[in-house]
Amino acid sequence: MSSVSGSSTNHSARTVTLGGASTMASSIASLDSSAPTSPSPSLIGEKGLFVSHKDRRGPNGYRFATQCATVEDPNHKDQYGSSSVPIYMTATFKGLPGAEFDYTRSGNPTRSMLQHHLCQLQNCRHSFAVSSGMACLDVITRLIKSGDRIIAGDDIYGGTQRLLGYLASHQGIHTDHVDTTDASKVEEALQKRARDYELGLCGKVSMLLLETPTNPLLKICDLERCARAAKRYAPDAIVVVDNTMMSPYLMRPLELGVDVVYDSGTKYLSGHHDLMAGVIACDRDDLGQRIAFTINSIGNALTPMDSFLLLRGIKTLAVRMDRQQASAMHVAHYLHSLGFQVNYPGLASHPSKDIHDRQAAGPGAVLSFETGDKMLSEKIVGATRLWGISVSFGCVNSLISMPCLMSHASIDPKIRAARRLPEDLIRLCVGIEDTRDLIEDLEAALLEAGAIRRKASLSSTPSVESSESLQSSRAGSPSPSPLPEYERVPLVAFAVDEPIADLVGGLDRAKIETRGGEGEGSKANISPPTSVIVSAPGKVILFGEHAVVHGVKAVAASVALRCFAHVSDREDGKLSLGLPDLGVEHVWKLDDLPWDVVPEKLRIGAEAELGAHEELDQGLIAAIEKCVGDVVNETDRSHAGSVAFLYLYMCIAGKEAARGQAFVLRSSLPIGAGLGSSAALSACLASSMAYTYGRLEVPSSAESGIPASDAILINSWAFLSEKVMHGNPSGVDNAVAVYGGAVAFTRAHPSNNLVGNELEKLGGFGSVRFLLTDTGVGRDTKSLVASVTAQKEKEPERVLAVLERIQKISDEAESLLSNHGVPRKDLLSRLGELVTINHQELVGLGVSHASLEAIRAKTQNERFKLSTKLTGAGGGGCAVTLLPDDFSEAKMKELELELSRDGFKCYETRVGGAGVGVLIPINEKEKDKKESEIPDRVVFEEAETKTLASWAEKAGEWIYA
């Protein structure tokens, strides 16, 4: 046996030595129901026996797990019979030339034992242990020469990519990267390069380098087919496989026609992340000799100590892998059930599962999943506790990482993008911990990052996102909540991470493109659509209502209920406003509108300035009030909306461009319940008018979304409408209606010296559960807001102190919701306390109501122990209750029953969804006929309120701000 390779084995000698064991083992084979009776043909390698499955017997007659634990070499018995392989911690050996060992770089008994053991496990003639996985590739690539070519996969380990780059720049060895998941692409590349080589256009393909499953996308390559193709089109090429992800326990590529296999021994083989090692295996003597020569020449063979540790680690390889793989399967199913894109060949959804199952004995313990948002992924990774944030895999401890920031950071971001390696990808390397702990920890991190949320109960508490509207669900109780308990938070909640420049002062208005404008970039040639459908969400204020009017921070989020507007041209040239929810319809002749009262500053051409004007034009409002007219069912409620509509219409359309149009507004939000129906309505009016008068252009693709500058304008105009309805609103409601998500909002106010409103997105809100309870008591935002202002004027000291305390509450809430280091339980418990304190402050401002206090009393009693506050203007409307993660379905049912007995309606809400949106009809892309494809007004009007949202969803593609 060569002292360098230390690996050549004598199969027949071992077979004889272990013959007894083999016979005994076969006699108990019948006990093992999983033992395959006839190997699948594809698994039979050239040698025709002992193929890759872990259940098959090795050359010594033992199954793989037994082989792992049984370290023995009949040719190298320890002189003292030591049970464990001794560490020959020596650089040199004394003796005459020709002795088996002389110098540890060339050979060492501990390493020889390891290499012998590896030959047993991999059923091959030559095994080598070197200093790392990359050292393996270094040794292997020295088998080819300068000017040769390599064909490799396009989803390869970052370190491999780096070495291939070095070979290209320093040795002229270039690599073609192909998608190895498609064997025909490998065949094509081999053929093409063979032709090119014949024509003298490139070097000879001398290596095919494969990984399967790939790291980190878990893509699968058909090894047998690729190896066959290499033998056919590039017969001299060495087929090399990095088998680190599988280990020889799950896959033995040599048996599939591959020439050389290497593993990073740092991973599964050693299993404890306490050493670095690489292992090469091959069955060809010519290659074995050259590899042995290279290792001896460059001196990167594994040290005696590490050889010992690796041997020790290998003994438990099968046990560890079984456990890790089983847990990985659970984790993969768990993430898949939450709706994440999971890459794992153990899932039925994996596109190449059949190929993988043919060549490997299991899916392994590495998986990856996508969240759709890089920041969100970072939050998830940062929020885990049990999962170690680390590169590498194969350890008994579970690891989590973001390949693009860690293991694959050395790949140029452009190349990563070209190879479709998602920046948000999270890789999980599952260890041997209790699976339940692993899933619990992951779940807590997903929750904490706001990637998932507890499913709204479908049994007693209809989801506000479901087709059940608040109004309609008062009637009944849908079916029980299905498993799992959690669900993915829609991504749109994370669409914007930077602060948004807001309406006043945050924008260079001169640069805004408007159709009527003269400035650079005017969209004068675009003809506006005659018909659009838009929508915007309602909101829930968690902290800071009322105080926000006076420059204090508020924390709020969009709810999933929305207002919708349908706009179409009217043939009779009249203008109509339909508010079917209130049973009201106005029709005006355009000439009857008080155009002459519209002040110059609000006229066409100055429209970008509209929202910037703090003061409404009271003359115009008075004139509109007069001409609104009285119609059937008109109340103060609908009247306020109608006035706001006309005010906005006259400013945005302008006298010259105004044309006969029908506006129909529908809402799945309860109106006047503190959930921001007026702001949602305002955002719908502003956007639909802007689009149909060409002030803004309807975006053409959902990918780009409604541009930020357009959203700022829509918000600006929506604020105008809010002012008409509420007198002195803060702007938080319309900001949430337009931008969506969860926000910390501060209005620019003399008290805070802000130049423009401040809007910060909050990510941690999405997973928090809320119960909204509608008192059914109507109230008027305008007068409640005015009452607080009056108190402030009358008792400034008291009210200013209240405002200061509310500012502290909002500040703390914002910091809790954006600090992902806060343990979930602590977060929810402190938020609950803040809810209670904030409510007390609102009571002090006189904006609560007996009905709200009744809800508070019920929810906070001994049985439920929940924190509740009023939300919005108060004086009735809705109460919001914070739900801890462990608040059970049974308790929820009980609470809902009691509240409904008291005449209240409660709904579990989801927050953080999209802001204002515009519909692109389904056929628009194909037919390029935007206008004609908008569903007819009658269809819109007649869609049932409770199915409005799903109707709109199906009507086409929605583009959101």
Ligand X SMILES: C[C@@](O)(CCOP(=O)(O)O)CC(=O)O
Ligand Y SMILES: Nc1ncnc2c1ncn2[C@@H]1O[C@H](COP(=O)(O)OP(=O)(O)O)[C@@H](O)[C@H]1O
- Residue 732 as a binder of ligand X (CB under 6 A): the answer is yes
463/742 Cα distance (integer angstroms): 18
Cβ 907 vs Cβ 463: under 8 Å: yes
Q: Which of 57, 63, 111, 267 is catalytic?
A: 267
Q: How far apart are the first and last CA of the chain?
A: 71
* Residue from 242, 259, 263, 502 carrying the catalytic annotation: 242
Among the listed ranges 344-352, 636-644, 881-889, 890-898, the one in contact with ligand Y (CB under 6 A) is 636-644
Site string for ligand X, 559-588 (x = CB under 6 A): ------------------------------
CB closer to ligand X, 445 vs 548:
548
Q: Is 157 an annotated catalytic residue?
A: yes
Closest C-alpha to 805, from 780, 839, 846, 758: 839
Which of ligand X, ligand Y, none sits in contact with 641, Cβ below 5 to 8 A by type? Answer: ligand Y
- Out of 468, 581, 634, 933, the only residue in the binding site for ligand Y (CB under 6 A) is 581
- Residue 719 C-beta: closest distance to ligand X, Å: 10
Please provide the DSSP assignment of 594-650 as one string: -GGGS-GGGSTT-GGGGGG-SS--HHHHHHHHHHH---TT--HHHHHHHHHHHHHHH
Is 579 an interacting residue with respect to ligand Y (CB under 6 A)? yes
Q: How far is the CB of 563 from ligand Y (least distance, A)?
A: 6
Binding span for ligand Y by CB under 6 A among 293-301, 322-330, 495-503, 671-679: 671-679
Q: Is 115 in the site for ligand X (CB under 6 A)?
A: no
Supply angle C-alpha 16, 22, 27, rounded to 5.
150
Q: Which of 674, 741, 913, 915 binds ligand Y (CB under 6 A)?
A: 674
* DSSP secondary structure, 810-863, as one string: HHHHHHHHH-TTS-HHHHHHHHHHHHHHHHHHHHHTT---HHHHHHHHHHHSTT
H/E stretch holding 495 reads none
User: Dihedral angle at the C-alpha atoms of 198, 203, 204, 205, nearest 10 degrees?
Assistant: -120
CA distance 606 to 556: 31
- Which CB sits closer to ligand Y, 361 or 737? 737
Residues 388, 402: Cα–Cα separation, whole Å: 12
Catalytic residue among 56, 125, 148, 157: 157
Q: Which is nearer to ligand X, 708 or 786 (CB)?
A: 786
The stretch among 461-469, 665-673, 827-835, 881-889 that binds ligand Y (CB under 6 A) is 665-673
Please, are residues 285 and 2 in contact by the beta-carbon 8 Å criterion? no
Question: Among residues 785, 806, 809, 955, which is the contact residue for ligand X, using CB under 6 A?
Answer: 785
Stretch that binds ligand X, among 216-224, 402-410, 653-661, 869-877 (CB under 6 A): 869-877
Q: What does the alpha-carbon distance between residue 475 and residue 473 come to, in Å, rounded to a whole number?
A: 5
CA distances from 94 to 97, 141, 700 (A): 9, 34, 80
Ramachandran angles phi, psi of 384, nearest 5°:
-75, 155
In the list 208, 610, 681, 959, the residue contacting ligand Y (rule: CB under 6 A) is 681
Using the rule CB under 6 A, which residue among 394, 676, 874, 956 binds ligand Y?
A: 676
Helices (H), 749-823: 781-794, 796-818
Interface pick for ligand X out of 180, 307, 384, 730 (rule CB under 6 A): 730
582 sits near ligand Y (criterion: CB under 6 A)? yes
Residue 781 interacting with ligand Y (CB under 6 A): yes
Q: Binding ligand X by CB under 6 A: which of 345, 364, 394, 674? A: 674
* Residue 548 partner contact from ligand X, ligand Y, none using kind-dependent CB cut-offs of 5 to 8 Å: ligand X
SS3 537: strand
**Interface with ligand Y includes 624 (CB under 6 A)?**
no
CB nearer to ligand Y: pick between 464 and 679: 679
Q: Which residue is nearest to ligand X (CB)?
A: 872
Residue choice 194, 640, 732, 943 for contact with ligand Y (CB under 6 A): 640
Residue span 861-900 as binding mask against ligand Y, x where in contact by CB under 6 A, dash where not: -----------x----------------------------
Q: Residue 546 interacts with ligand X (CB under 6 A)?
A: yes
* Partner from ligand Y, ligand X, none binding residue 638, C-beta < 5-8 Å depending on class: ligand Y
Residue from 127, 678, 730, 881 in contact with ligand Y (CB under 6 A): 678
Q: Does 832 bind ligand Y (CB under 6 A)?
A: no
Catalytic residue among 55, 78, 102, 105: 105
Task: Name the helix (H) or strand (E) containing 769.
Answer: strand 769-774
* Residue 359 identity: Q
Separation of alpha carbons 174 and 199, rounded Å: 17
Q: Does 676 bind ligand X (CB under 6 A)?
A: yes
Q: Is residue 107 part of the contact set for ligand Y (CB under 6 A)?
A: no
* Partners of 577 in beta bridges: 586, 663
Out of 545, 617, 814, 908, name the contact with ligand X by CB under 6 A. 545
Q: Are 260 and 281 in contact (CB under 8 A)?
A: yes
Rounded to 10 degrees, the C-alpha dihedral 721/723/729/733 comes to: 0
Whole-angstrom Cα Rg for the chain: 35
Q: Which residue is associated with the tokens 């990985």? A: 328
Cβ distance 640 to 624 under 8 Å? no
Task: Tell me the torsion sign for CA atoms 33, 37, 43, 46.
Answer: positive
Q: Applying CB under 6 A, does 675 fall inside the site for ligand Y?
A: yes
| Long-range contacts of residues 849-853, Cβ cutoff 8 Å, at least 24 apart | 849/775, 849/777, 849/779, 849/874, 849/875, 849/876, 851/775, 851/776, 851/777, 851/876, 851/904, 852/775, 852/876, 852/879
Question: Shortest approach of ligand Y to residue 582 CB, angstroms?
Answer: 5
The interface with ligand Y within residues 691-730 (CB under 6 A) comprises 725
Query: Out of 729, 764, 876, 915, which residue is the one contacting ligand X (CB under 6 A)?
Result: 729
| Nearest distance in Å: CB 676, ligand Y | 5
908 binding ligand X? (CB under 6 A): no
**Which residues would be at the binding site for ligand Y (CB under 6 A)?**
563, 579, 581-582, 637-638, 640-641, 665, 667, 671-679, 681, 725, 781, 872
> Which residues does the annotation mark as catalytic?
105, 157, 242, 267
**Which residues would be at the binding site for ligand X (CB under 6 A)?**
545-546, 548-549, 674, 676, 726, 729-730, 732-733, 781, 785, 872-873, 877
